[in-house]
Structure 1
Amino acid sequence: MTITEVDGRQLRLTHLDRVLYPETGWTKAAALRYYALVAPKLLPHLAGRPASFLRFPGGVAEQRFWAKHLPAGAPDWLTTMQVTHSEGELEQVVVADLPTLIWAANLGALELHVPQWREDPAEHDRLVVDLDPGPGMSVVECCAVALLARELLVADGLTVWPKTSGAKGLHLAVPLRPTPARTAGAYARELAARLRVAHPGLVVDRMERRLRTGRVFVDWSQNNSAKTTAAPYSLRAGRVPGVSTPLEWAEVAACRSAEQLAFTPEQVAERAGDPWAGVLEEANWGRL
Structure 2
Amino acid sequence: MLFPASGHTKAHVLHYYAQIAPVMLPHVAGRPASFVRAPEGPEGESWIAKNPPPGVPDWVPLVPVEHRDGVTEQVVVDSTAALAAMVNLGAYEVHVPQWTAAGGRDAHDRLVLDLDPGPGADLVVCCRVAERLRQLLDEDGLMACPVVSGSKGLHLYAPVEAVSGRGASAYAKGLAERMTVEHPRLVVASMAKLERRGRVLIDWSQNASAKTTAAPYTVRLREGSPGVAAPVTWDEVAACRAPSDLAFTPEAVVERAAERGDLLAGLLGEGVRGRVP
Q: Deviations over 1:226-254 (max 9, x none)?
A: 11000010000011111000011110011
Query: What is the aligned length?
Result: 270
Whether 1:246 and 2:231 are equivalent positions in the alignment is: yes
Whether 1:92 and 2:74 are equivalent positions in the alignment is: yes
User: Does the CA-based 8 Å contact 1:22-1:61 persist in structure 2?
Assistant: no
**Structure 2: which 5+ residue stretches go unaligned?**
none
Pick one of 218, 221, 242 that aligns with 1:257: 242
**38-47 or 67-76: which moved more?**
67-76
**61-70 or 276-285: which moved more?**
61-70
SS of the aligned residue for 2:142 comes to: coil
1:69-148 matched pairs, under 5 angstroms: 69-119=51-101, 120-148=104-132
- Whole-angstrom distance in 2 between the partners of 1:74 and 1:214: 43
Q: How far 1:163 sits from its partner (Å)?
A: 0.4
SS of the aligned residue for 2:232 comes to: coil
Whether 1:283 and 2:265 are equivalent positions in the alignment is: no
Greater fraction of residues in strand: 1
**Structure 1: which 5+ residue stretches go unaligned?**
1-18
1:1-288 matched pairs, under 5 angstroms: 19-119=1-101, 120-239=104-223, 240-271=225-256, 272-288=260-276
- Whole-angstrom distance in 2 between the partners of 1:31 and 1:143: 28
Ranges of 4+ aligned residues in structure 1 off by more than 3 Å: none
- Whole-angstrom distance in 2 between the partners of 1:74 and 1:196: 45
**Fraction of identical pairs, as percent:** 54
- Whole-angstrom distance in 1 between the partners of 2:146 and 2:42: 26
Structure of higher RCO (CA pairs closer than 8 Å, 6+ residues apart): 2
- Whole-angstrom distance in 2 between the partners of 1:103 and 1:138: 35
Structure 1 vs Structure 2 CA RMSD: 0.9
Greater CA radius of gyration, 1 or 2?
A: 1
Q: TM-score, normalised by structure 1?
A: 0.92
User: Does the CA-based 8 Å contact 2:56-2:89 persist in structure 1?
Assistant: no
Q: TM-score, normalised by structure 2?
A: 0.96
- Whole-angstrom distance in 2 between the partners of 1:265 and 1:225: 29
